[in-house]
Amino acid sequence: MNYDIVIIGGGVIGSSIAYHLAAAGESSVLVIERDSTYRLASSALSVSSIRQQFHTPTCIRMSQFGFEFLRHVSDHLGIDDEPIALSLVERGYLYLAGAERAPVLEAAVRIQRDLDVPVRLLDRRQLATEFSWLASDDLERGALGTAGEGWFDGYSLLQAFRRKARSLGVTYLTDEAVGLVRQASKVAGVMLARSGVVGARVVVNAAGPHSGKVAQWGGLALPVVPERRCVFTFTCPTALDFIPLVVDPSGLYVRPEGSRFISGGPATPIAGSDPLSLDVDYQQFEEFIWPTLARRIPAFERIRLQSAWAGHYEMNVFDHNAVIGWAPGIEGLMMATGFSGHGMQHAPATGRGVCELIREGGFRSIDLGELSPQRLIDDAPIVELNVI
């Protein structure tokens, strides 16, 4: 069994790459996905939000393209004129900062405005006036996106990419990659647990939290590790005015979800020996999430927890930015991983960019060159400060 391009990982990144390749004319593309139900896939468990409020210009441009792609998703991924419902809610992020972080937020807003991001910089008085439900006494600044940000149904986006890719001739195989076939410094295929060896001209590592292991098979030390993030949904008996997606200085975020709210915070250590454990850390909710919510939004003192789940970030511990491009010194191995929580929103731009690299030898739309794996070798991090 041989294909021109084999993609390891059929989540939203891998499926976006597959779609863009097939739409551009590639007729021999295989996607290997270990679980066709996506029950534990990062794409299926994501809270699926999109923002333009990054420090990194490349990330801003990727989000700008991504939001326009979502706005017109049926034009891109529709089949037989059937519309795709992503339930896209266009409502901005509200980043909050105390005195220590205020200069960082102000610097980010300057970068964003230079790239035409519609964002307002608010002082404490404006925060108190415009968001009456917010406790703002300890805040110095807020940054509110006024367009091009929000949230959507990420699982539907994943399935839309997958369906469209298959309709264009991409093959999906339910199997598990267990190694790479090497011919000297070239990757020539993928070893599978059940189907044997699949030959390939190009192998794309889009394996998400498993991508560090895949890169190691090829000889690249990739600093991408699975990081568990817990998500909690709750109700509040008090009706609140307009609430964007709020990012607290503590690292907590909260946003509406219909009649409920969704919240989460930083990663928490995993008990036990399984680094891929997705057990929910309810202690985080009791000791950090709920108290922090109640301090920032006093009405949340009376919330009632409804449900919870956990998913993985494919965390690039080097600089919290994606790794996209050819693996240095390893012919035929492409990286598309390490998104550190940005994968869902950057999947459209990543798919297009990887397609351009493979087919045209370079980026033709957004220049993603600074995300190259070469920066890992050169010890040249691109530090993204707006990390959630």
Q: Which pLDDT score is estimated for 386? A: 74
Q: Which pLDDT score is estimated for 273? A: 74
- Kindly report the CATH class assigned to 225-316: alpha beta
Residue 224 — pLDDT band, cuts 50, 70, 90?
very high
Which residues are registered as beta bridge partners of 6?
30, 203
Q: Which pLDDT score is estimated for 183? A: 93
Residue 241 above 90 pLDDT? no
Q: Which pLDDT score is estimated for 305? A: 98
- How far apart, in whole angstroms, are the C-alpha atoms of residue 249 and residue 141? 10
Lowest mean pLDDT among 181-185, 229-233, 260-264: 181-185
Q: What is the pTM of this model?
A: 0.97
For the chain, what is the mean pLDDT? 96
Residue 207 above 90 pLDDT? yes
SS (H, E, C) 244-294: CEEECCCCCEEEEECCEEEEECCCCCCCCCCCCCCCCCHHHHHHHHHHHHH
pLDDT in tens, 103-157: 999 999 999 999 999 999 999 999 999 999 999 999 999 999 999 999 999 999 9
Instruction: Check the CA dihedral 23-29-30-33 and report its sign.
Output: negative
Q: Tell the CATH topology of 2-82+153-223+319-378.
A: FAD/NAD(P)-binding domain (3.50.50)
- State in Å, rounded, how far the first CA of the chain is from the last one: 42
Domain with CATH 3.30.9.10 in the chain: 225-316
pLDDT in tens, 262-295: 999 998 877 777 888 899 999 999 999 999 999 9
Phi, psi of 58, rounded to the nearest 5 degrees = -60, -40
pLDDT in tens, 342-378: 999 999 999 999 999 999 999 999 999 999 999 999 9
Domain with CATH 3.50.50.60 in the chain: 2-82+153-223+319-378
- Position with higher pLDDT, 164 vs 273: 164
Residue 99 above 80 pLDDT? yes
Q: Which pLDDT score is estimated for 149? A: 98
Are the beta carbons of 311 and 48 closer than 8 angstroms? no
In this structure, the chain runs to a length of 388
Q: Which pLDDT score is estimated for 116? A: 98
- How far apart, in whole angstroms, are the C-alpha atoms of residue 365 and residue 58? 12
b/e code 52-80 from CB counts within 10 Å (16+ = b): bbbbbbbbbbbbbbbbebbeebeebbeee
- Tokens at 108, concatenated: 């980010």
- How far apart, in whole angstroms, are the C-alpha atoms of residue 282 and residue 298? 21
Average pLDDT over residues 330-336: 97
Q: Which pLDDT score is estimated for 39? A: 92
